[in-house]
Amino acid sequence: MIPITRNSIDSKTITLRSGVPLANAYRTVYLNEEQVGCGNLILVNADHPVRKVEPRLAPVAGKLLMAAGKEEPDVALDTVSLAQLTALLDACGARKKIVVVSGYRSKDVQRMIFMDTLVKRGPAYTESYVALPGASEHQTGLAVDVGLASRRLHYIAPSFGEGSADAGRFKRLAPAYGFIQRYEEEKTPITGIACEPWHYRYVGYPHAAVMTDKNLCLEEYTAFLKKHAFASEHLIVEDGDRRFEIYYVEAAPGLTAVPVPNDKDAEWDVSGNNVDGFVVTASYRKEPRRHGR
């Protein structure tokens, strides 16, 4: 059991608890091993590099301000991430104050950036701020670097958060739109990356809100969700409008049978964790009938 906790996220109070499954019934979908590396919740780091990810990209140009440079002249993001980032900037009132510095990078571009930074800044700086080729979240299209439009911006470490009200508002509202600051200073021993106030990662709602509430980085959250396997108590999240049911399914060799809600009141999504399994997130707008197995 996890204790019931409450936290205000963008004027909403979320409640977390462990609980019994919420759907009236479940059906099975089958996912292959490659799909463990796909979805909004994939963990990408030096120990868990990007697998076969083919992001659905949309250009940032014409939608948001961007600080395009020679390293990344055509900034693009995952389509859902871009839509949510746009909504977040609108909520912040910062469309003309915050710019997109970096989005999707191919493995080859990441290799070029890594080697260039290594030559110019040395190994200590490079290892702290630049992920290895193949181990960068930017390769998924789900990560975005942002900066303040009023300041001169460095591509690797753009200015963001240093006493800025706009940056503070962005960070405060980000979880409600599915974003987390991926690399916090206190989590450096776990993530292996120094604090990056400019680097945000889309994981989706309510996951970003839960991570913020429990002060978990993505490495910790991936382990936390494994405690809520389908056959045990699920993670239940409520925010006043919706009730969410979240649970983990361990991947099997070949195809994995993943139970999903077979309920007319439920919308669901499945994401791989890029480690060893899948996470199901179901949303209920109406009060579902609880039951036991």
Task: Tell me how far apart the 2 most distant CA atoms of the chain are, in Å.
Answer: 61
Catalytic residue among 72, 127, 186, 196: 196
Per residue, what are the HEC states of 62-76?
A: CCCCECCECCECCCE
Nearest to 101 by CA among 157, 175, 45: 157
Query: What is the dihedral sign for C-alpha 168, 170, 175, 181?
Result: negative
List CB contacts of 165: < 8 A, sequence separation 6 or more.
none
The residue type at 35: Q
Length of the chain: 293
Name the nearest CA neighbour of 21 among 252, 243, 208: 243
- How far, in Å, CA of 240 to CA of 28, rounded? 29
196 catalytic residue (yes or no): yes
Q: Is 146 helix (H, G, I), strand (E, B) or coil?
A: strand
Q: How far apart are CA 133 and CA 139, in angstroms?
A: 9
CA-to-CA distance for 264 and 59, rounded, in angstroms?
Answer: 35
**Side-chain half-sphere of 21: how many Cα atoms within 13 Å?**
20
Element (H, E) at 109: helix 107-121
Instruction: Quote the CA–CA distance of 221 and 41 in Å, as a whole number.
Output: 10
| Residues annotated as part of the active site | 196
